[in-house]
Structure 1
Amino acid sequence: MHSIGSLQQPLWRRLMPLAWGLAAAVALVLALAWGVFQVQVTLAGFLSSESVWSKAQKQAVIDLDNYTTRGDPRDLAGFRRNYGLLAADRWGRDAIIAGRYDTERVHQVFQQGNILPSAEHGMTFMLAHFSSAPYMAQAIEAWRSTDTSIDQLDTIADEVQRDYAAGTPDPAEIARQRTRIGTINAYVEPRSKRFSEEMVRGAVWLGRLLFVAVLLALLLVALLWVGMARRVLDRIRGSEERYRLLFESAAVAIVMVDEAGGCILEANRLASAWTGRDPAVLSGASFDELFVPGSMHAVGPALLAMLYGSDGSQRPVEMQVSHTAWGRCTVRQVIIRDVSERVALERERRVAAEALASIAEGVIIADDERRVVSVNAAHVEITGYTAQTLQGRRFDELRSMPDGTPLPESIWSGIVGGRHWSGEVQGRRADGSVYPEQLSISAIRDTQRQVLHYVAVFSNIHALKAQRHRLEHMASHDPLTGLLNRAEFERRCEVAIAAAARTRTAVAVLFVDLDAFKIVNDSYSHAIGDRLLQKVAERIGRQLGGSDVAGRIGGDEFTVLLDRLELREDAGAVAERLLASLSEPVVVDDCELALSASIGIAGYPLDGGDTLTLIANADAAMYVAKNSERNTYRFYTPIMQADARQRLLLVSELRRALVEDEFRLCYQPSVELRSGRIVAVEALLRWQHPRRGELPPSEFIPVAESLGLIRRIDEWVLQSACAQIRAWNRAGLPAIRVAVNVSARWFGHAGFIAHLDRTLQAHGVAPGRLGLEITEGTMLRLGDDTERTMRALHGLGVEVAIDDFGTGYSSMAYLKLPSVTSLKIDRSFITGLPHDTNDVAIVEAIMAMARSLGLRAIAEGIETEPQHDFLLRAGCNEGQGYLYAGALPPAAVERLLSPRPRQGPTQLSLVPPKRS
């Protein structure tokens, strides 16, 4: 409290002790100076008195000597006057030293001797108290030693006066008297001189003593004052340091502002941190520049404003202003508090109030007895009850559990105990109807944790429950067919297996795969395919019993779960019914489609003890059924799993082959039949298996297509073919066409055209050097996108050949597209030439069509000379087959195109191959 009080005192008051000490020191010095002055005046009086006495003594001797010589009365009068002065001084001396004197008479003596009036008291004091002091005692002793001699002078004066009164004295007498006078004067004069010397020595000694005394006094006073000043300044410095510590460590920003100029005089650390300015920079800055213009306004006794931050941000602050005086200046002390949290809380409160009013959920605020206090607008909209109609009623009266029972007391005891309750209840509207309600209840408590209010938030979940049921159905069912999806089917299967384990019965899983469904999609459209799958799902559902379920696990693959079987073989009857039902023609959009299915059957516990194993084994059995004769079913046997494992192994090896670059390309030449020149090569993919050797595409392409790896393989083939074209260009080989087969999946991809363009540009290959071979089925699968894709290829300058022409579901409209330049006649039509009349008729029809459309005809699989001759006569442009060459490595193709080394630059020419 003392330190705080001292901080509040003004500086002049805290410096008053120092000022009083200084005044006392000055007074003491003045007193000492006055004392020294008085001593000096006294010494001056003594010296003046000594001078007067010495002069009077000398003058008395002179006057007496003159009187003795001449007898002039004036000389005698002068002697008497001087002698009286000497006698008066002697009386005053002895009276003062003895301490028995009349002050008035002493004063008359001093006046008679013309002594300084100011020295009277000092001389009296010195004679009275310091007559035995050093030098003073010797001087007085010398003075007293002349008293008898001076009296003798008076005696001589009386005798000479009598002699002159009797007549003229005898000269001898006069001489004698003068001798006596001279003897007395010789005695008195050195003693008078000694008196003066002793007085001077005393004055010097006393002066030194007084100087030392004054100096010591001054030193003592200075030390005392400095000590007092240090203590006072230490207290002031301590107060200032405490003030500075409070100023700098304050939890608020403090700014001292010059009231006259509006400039900042001083700011604490927090003000510097908030504004992002150093204290030195902040000092002297304009106070108003710290705030957003126009943001300062008064709220009661305080001011609110937006303070600029170091990064340009704004901070809401509250300011309290007071005024104080710094010297002659009026200073404004501004205390700034950060009210960001308060503003945020106020904003949150307003938002909460607005949110409560506009929230879609109903809100009820009730007292501690659950009687309604207030409700929001959503409550009125949901229930039809207003706050007035519910006034005084308990809100739980209008609610019950979903089974109709009242809300249990455990809910309220749990909330009172500090928990929160949420659950589904049944609410009642004002019209008496009921609805499902999601209710959440919490409590507002006082500082003693006692419940003040209950807050209930609810919403009508009728639509939500319906949506939830719909989502649950969507999450567990296939959206196209309505059958169970894979996850739900597996869950049902697990339940069935667990029940069969308890009841010692059997469970069977049927894996149903439609035969040739891909052809339907390729030949018609995906929309037709989807509706066909819906028809299939309906037929499967009609063949199942009450506890049996069916699912669609992908594409055209279905699964059926049969539980409560005595034996696994009992599932065969259901499989036969399914095959019979699915083989019946299906009418979809005026199209009659005939399908069949392959079914694999695996049963618990014979074929597996868990869901995944049963499905996998049923899939393996289905695969065997499809590969054997289709439209049939097979029960699982262990040997089937080995085939499935072989397929899985092949999948793993395919992925590794892409990573480790085990694929390579061979090239089969395409010969111009009329000239025998090699005009093109077809890139053929081979897999150099590390253990099984070279594998043809027929062994791995179907698996790659089924697993989605075919796109990566197609990209590799395209990159490798373009790289080979670039290498042949650099080798100076003829610019022959290189044909690349493209799968339907990659050809129909949205990024196919862009990737093809980038690949050609990356390898510097002219588009005319690359040809794409696409099957009719691939073109048909594109549907409406076929024309767009083919026109994009034409824009790039890439030619397209229809591969295996005549074996698929042809649409003659595709042959008119500008990018189609060639028809490749399938080898199945070449084999019977020239003897098989059907093959002859088909090939001649294809040739006629190609000529009429301006397309190039290319025959595949030419193996004999008669086939070559027939095709040449029929007008076929190009041919491929073992008659000319099989699939060759790139080096062999180079040798065919360059059979002899060339010397120097020559014109390129195509060399006809040697027929095998």
Structure 2
Amino acid sequence: MFTWGALQVQVTLAGFLNGESVWSKAQKQAVIDLSIYAETGNAERLAAFEDNYGLLMSDGWARDAIASGTYDRGEVDRAFERGKIMPQAKPGMIFMLRCCTHVSHMHEAVAVWRAADVPLKQLGAIADELKQAARHGSPDEPETARRLARINALNDELEPLTKRFSLEVAQGAMWLGRVLFGSVVLVASLALLLWLVMARRILIGIRGTEERYSLLFDSAADAIVMVDEATGRILGANRTAMQWTGLSMEALMGKALPELFVPLLHRSDGAVTGELHTRDGEMRPVEMRSSVAYWGTQSVHQSIMRDITERVSLEQQRRIASEAMASIAEGVIIADADRRVTRVNAAHIRMTGFTAQALQDVRFDDLRCMPDGSPLPDSVWETIYTEGNWVGEVRTRRMDGTTYPEWLSISAIREAEGQVQHYVAVINNISTAKANEQRLQYMAAHDPLTGLANRAEFERRCVQAVAAAERDRGMIAVLFIDLDAFKAVNDSYTHAIGDHLLVKVAERIAYELGDKGLAGRIGGDEFTVLMDDLYTREEASAMAGRLLTALAAPVVVGDYELALSASIGIACYPLDGTDVPTLITNADAAMYAAKTEERNAFRFYSPRMQADARRRIALASELRKALAEDEFHLQFQPTVEMRSGRVVAVEALLRWHHPVRGRIPPVEFIPMAEKLGLIRRIDQWVLQAACRQLAEWDHLGLPPLRMAVNVSAHWFGQANFVDDIRALLESQRLAAERLMLEITEGAILRLGEEMERTLHALHALGVGVAIDDFGTGYSSMSYLKMRAIAYLKIDQSFVAGLPEDESDGAIVETMLTLCRKLGISPIAEGIETEEQHRFLLRAGCTEGQGYLYSRPIEPEEIVQLMTVGKRQGNSHLRLVPPEV
């Protein structure tokens, strides 16, 4: 603006100077032209005068008009054009004439200029007079001289004014030039001072910026290196880069960046993830971002490396957490504070079919309800709010609309202020567990084989029935059912056949009973029936009759048709007992009475039966005591060689001499021992006692005998049976060939593959095995091919009819032929007459056993029997000991 103003001033000065020059010339030329016109009358001179005079008058008018402030701009412009004023100077001149006429030199110039107006107007009057005179003819010389004198006088008046005007204008221009120069100098000085101040501030700012940049550069937590774009060498680095790398600035300068930084992944956002070599030789995970910058004219890369160790660790933890969440077997739901699902894992998708997209904007509790179908109560969320967690069973809807039981655990994740931010729900499909629980509940209350109520469930239902009958003054009946001769079926067939038979029996009992009571199986072949809400005992007897009829019908099991019967005992509340144990015990006693007296019958309980039951219970207790107090002892029945009468073996027979009751036969206590699970201990006692006795006879010098011992299937099928036999023989120093184990053919078939392994092991040990009661069971003869079967005992039921019974004779002869063909030694049991002895001898039987030769006797009598020539009984045979 100042420069523009100075230029305008200069242009205005130029305008004034040019105008002054034109005005002075016009004034002088006007005087000259008027003088010549006055002398010569030349019209051209008059025209030239008038032209210059008009210019002078126009300038004066314009001056006065501008000074007055009221003027026609167009007229002023024409006046300036007539005065040959530069158009660029017009505005400045107008301003000066309008506002600056009182300024030094300008005031004097204007005053002289106005003073010249009077002489000029007089020149104009003389010109008018000359023109008037020229119209009347040529003027006389004196007049012309007078007018010339006036013109010269006016010229003399104008000339100093003109000079002064020019001087004032020149001096004004000089003054204004000095003012302008001073102003320029002043403004330039001010500008220079301002520039210096600003430059100082800029320098201070630059220095502060450099210091701040240097401070920021060196104190930055990230490592920063400046790399030459052309060579890839490091030009500079901050303190963090030196600390991380363990290198000084001098060591870093000139190094190639790839020597320090190993890129691993180039990301789409321009960042590079890699590893930085550190001072301890390890690699620091960093993220590098580079940008182009300029150091002067040099193009450099500014590489900023940020330590991402924590981020890598967090990402690894998140990845591990994500993988763990995806791989765990439990379903996981993550929901926001409004319980709307945001994320689920794969297990949840497998369980429910719902993905996170399918559950968008869905509250996870909307898909769940309580097991009874009611919505999740507010107490769930109150518990979570107060305790942070809730666990319970719910029912959940799958995507296909089906539901399943679920174990749900909901936990709250809170912000720092304590507000719930997210919910985490862990789910488990407990369908299998519930099914197992129901199955276990069912198994806990039902017999696994038949599906009937077991003992515990039957007794529980009986307790309920007794309580109802007591409350309503009613009557109930308990029926105790036991199958007749089921053990024979079990021994003759396999256990699988026996189990199928029990299932058929249970089905028949349940069918006959219908909805009139409860059937149960309390063990083995023993069943119970509860009939409640009875009016008379005849209802129970009618039901017992129908059950006997149903159970007596033949049963088809596999390829076999079996027929059996049952014995039933009945006890009624309140006549026969007021509590459940008493009722069941009395019904058992009535059943035992029915089995003892008749079989395939039923009996109501009577007090006499209770005495028999107590006797059996007492027998069970005394049997345990007898085993503990060594009340058992052995008797031995000889086995003879039928052709020579020589004693070749003895069979160990168990006897129980009760201190109060006297002798108790095995047929009475052996079944009880099997029921009580004592039979294995009794078998072990018998075998140990027999081997000790055999060793004692050897010590007395008796001839060697073979010892036969009966073994039950309960012990024979045990895994350590053969090891026990080996240990026993070694302890008594007995040869294995002197021991013979007897087992029934039913037991062989019942044990299956276990029996086969045991027989092979016994054969390898050298112990012989005898099949006892051969021909009385329903057996396959395939086991006779086993090398371990060394003896076959013909049951006394076939020997008793000899020789009169042709059927028995044919069966015995067939058995003996079979033994001869298979290389098995036959032993006939129950020989009581000489005719039986002769028949068997003729038929080829080699060994015999029976009262004809000797009854079971004490060990001392065996010693006497071994004496040469000693007779036994009434037999005509002379029993002789075996050869030494």
**TM-score, scaled to structure 1:** 0.56
Aligned residue identity for 1:522: D
Equivalent-residue separation in structure 2 for 1:432 and 1:483 (angstroms): 36
Structure 2 residue 499 is matched with structure 1 residue 530: yes
Q: CA deviation at 1:729?
A: 1.9
Contact preservation (8 Å) 2:493, 2:746:
no
> Equivalent of 2:541, from 572, 576, 587?
572
Q: 1:883 to 1:357 in 2, by over 3 A?
A: closer
Q: Does 1:897 align with 2:866?
A: yes
Equivalents in 1 of 2:360, 2:812: separation in Å? Answer: 95
Opposite residue 652 of structure 1, the aligned amino acid is S
Q: Tell me if the contact between 1:366 and 1:373 (Cα under 8 Å) persists in the aligned partners.
A: yes
Equivalent residue runs for 1:333-482 within 5 Å = 354-372=323-341, 374-387=343-356, 394-418=363-387, 420-429=389-398, 434-445=403-414, 451-482=420-451
Give the corresponding residue for 2:53.
none
Choose from 655, 675, 680 the match for 2:649: 680
Does 2:781 align with 1:818? no
TM-fit CA distance, 1:762? 2.1
Structure 1 segment 68-79 matched on structure 2, within 5 A: none
Cα root mean square deviation, aligned: 3.8
Tell me the SS of whatever aligns to 1:543: helix
Aligned residue for 1:32? Answer: none
Single out whichever of 375-384 and 481-490 deviates more from structure 2. 375-384
Distance 1:869 1:413, change over 3 A: closer
Opposite residue 630 of structure 1, the aligned amino acid is R
Match among 455, 475, 481 for residue 512 of structure 1: 481
Structure 1 equivalent of residue 552 of structure 2: 583
C-alpha contact (below 8 Å) 2:393/2:407 kept by paired residues: yes
Structure 1 residues 737 and 354: CA distance shift in structure 2, 3 A: same
Q: Per the alignment, in what secondary structure is the counterpart of residue 631 of structure 1? A: coil
Cross-structure match for 1:792: 761
Give the distance between the partners of 2:575 and 2:556, measured in 1 at CA: 39
Rate the CA distance shift 1:451–1:705 in 2: closer, same or farther, 3 A.
same
Residue of structure 2 aligned with 1:596, choices 565, 569, 573 = 565
Q: Which residue of 1 aligns with 2:614?
A: 645
Q: 1:621 to 1:462 in 2, by over 3 A?
A: same
Distance (Å, rounded) in 2 between the aligned partners of 1:747 and 1:644: 31
Q: Distance in 2 between matches of 1:348 and 1:643?
A: 77
Asked if 1:781 corresponds to 2:750, the answer is yes
Whether the 8 Å CA contact 1:678–1:913 is kept in 2: the answer is yes
Cα shift at 1:299: 8.4
- Map 1:730-769 onto structure 2 (within 5 A): 730-769=699-738
CA contact (8 A) 2:412 2:422 kept: yes
CA deviation profile, 1:845-867 (whole Å, cap 9, x unmatched)? 55555455554443434445555
8 Å CA contact 2:520–2:527 kept in 1: the answer is: yes
Per-residue CA deviation, residues 484-543 of structure 1 (Å, 9 max, x unaligned), is 222222222222222222222222222222222222222232222222222222211211
Q: Give ranges in structure 1 of 5+ residues lacking alignment.
A: 1-293, 301-343, 902-909
Q: Which runs of 4+ in 1 moved over 6 A?
A: 294-300, 344-351, 446-449
Deviation of 1:766 after TM superposition, in Å, equals 0.7
Q: Is the CA contact 2:867–2:881 (under 8 Å) kept in the aligned structure 1?
A: no
Alignment pair present for 1:499 and 2:482: no
Q: Which residue is equivalent to 1:888? A: 857
Q: How does 1:719-738 map to 2 (within 5 A)?
A: 719-738=688-707
Query: Which amino acid counterpart does residue 428 of structure 2 have in structure 1?
Result: S
8 A Cα contact 1:505 1:567, kept in partner: no
Q: 1:350 to 1:638 in 2, by over 3 A?
A: farther
After superposition, the Cα gap between the structure-2 partners of 1:786 and 1:398, relative to the gap in structure 1 and judged at 3 Å, is closer
Change (3 A) 1:803 1:468: closer
What residue in structure 1 maps to residue 292 of structure 2?
none
What's the CA shift for 1:666? 1.7
Cα shift at 1:419? 6.8
Count of paired positions: 572
**Would you say the 8 A contact 1:515–1:630 is kept in 2?**
yes
Change (3 A) 1:393 1:553: same
Residue 676 (structure 2) pairs with residue 714 (structure 1)? no
Q: Cα offset for 1:659?
A: 1.9
- CA drift of 1:629 comes to 1.6
- Alpha-carbon distance change, 353 to 506 in structure 1, aligned in 2, over 3 angstroms: farther
**Structure 2 match to 1:557:** 526
For the structure 1 residues 379 and 772, does the alpha-carbon distance in structure 2 shift closer, same or farther, using more than 3 Å as the test? closer
Q: Kindly state the Cα deviation for residue 871 of structure 1 after the two structures are TM-superposed.
A: 4.7
1:912 is aligned to 2:873 = no
8 A contact 1:884–1:913 mirrored in 2: no
Q: Deviations 1:267-326 (Å, cap 9, x if unpaired)?
A: xxxxxxxxxxxxxxxxxxxxxxxxxxx9996989xxxxxxxxxxxxxxxxxxxxxxxxxx
Aligned to 2:195: none
Give the CA deviation at 1:700: 1.4
> Aligned partners of 1:693, 1:296: CA distance in 2, in Å?
97
Does structure 1 conserve the Cα–Cα contact (< 8 Å) formed by 2:869 and 2:879? no
Relative to structure 1, the CA distance from residue 348 to residue 526 in structure 2 (aligned partners, 3 Å threshold; closer, same or farther) is farther
Matches within 5 A, 1:58-97: none
Match of 1:622 among 591, 596, 602: 591
- Aligned with 2:659 (options 680, 686, 690): 690
Look up the SS of the partner of 2:460 in the other structure: helix
Q: TM-score, normalised by structure 2?
A: 0.58
Structure-2 change in CA distance of 1:456 and 1:830 (3 Å): closer
Contact kept, 8 Å, 2:334 with 2:422, in 1: the verdict is: yes
Give the AA of the match of 2:544: A
* CA distance, structure 1, for counterparts of residue 640 and residue 774 of structure 2: 19
In the alignment, is the contact (CA less than 8 A) between 1:681 and 1:739 conserved in 2? yes
CA shift, 1:552, in A, is 2.1
Structure 2 vs 1, CA of residues 369 and 734 (structure 1 numbering), >3 Å: closer, same or farther? same
Q: Is the 8 A contact 1:568 1:604 kept in 2?
A: no
Equivalents in 1 of 2:403, 2:672: separation in Å?
A: 59
Distance verdict in 2 for CA 1:660–1:443, change over 3 Å: same
CA contact (8 A) 2:648 2:881 kept: no
1:894–1:358: structure 2 CA closer, same or farther, 3 Å change rule?
A: same
Q: How far is 1:816 from its partner?
A: 4.3
Question: Structure 1 pair 371/686, CA: closer, same or farther in 2 (3 Å)?
Answer: same
* CA displacement 1:365-421 (0-9 Å, x = unmatched): 445544445444444444455556656654434433445443322332333333743
Residues 791, 389 of structure 1: CA spacing in aligned structure 2 closer, same or farther, 3 A cutoff?
Answer: closer
Cα-to-partner distance string for 1:467-494 (whole Å, 9 max, x where unaligned)? 4434433333223222222222222222
Describe the superposition over 1:77-105 as per-residue Cα deviations: whole angstroms up to 9, x where unpaired.
xxxxxxxxxxxxxxxxxxxxxxxxxxxxx
2:109 equivalent in structure 1: none
Note the C-alpha offset of 1:841.
5.4
Cα drift, residue 609 of structure 1: 3.0
Q: For the structure 1 residues 602 and 686, does the alpha-carbon distance in structure 2 shift closer, same or farther, using more than 3 Å as the test?
A: same
Change (3 A) 1:412 1:784: closer
State the percentage of identical aligned residues. 63
Contact kept, 8 Å, 2:518 with 2:530, in 1: the verdict is yes
Aligned 1:203-242 pairs, distance under 5 A? none
| Residues 1:371 and 1:559: Cα distance change in structure 2 (over 3 Å) | same
State the 1:601 CA deviation.
Answer: 1.8
Q: Which runs of 5 or more structure 2 residues have no equivalent in the other structure? A: 1-278, 286-312, 871-877
The residue identity in structure 2 corresponding to 1:534 is V
Q: CA-to-partner distance for each residue in 1:131-190, whole Å, 9 max, x for gaps?
A: xxxxxxxxxxxxxxxxxxxxxxxxxxxxxxxxxxxxxxxxxxxxxxxxxxxxxxxxxxxx
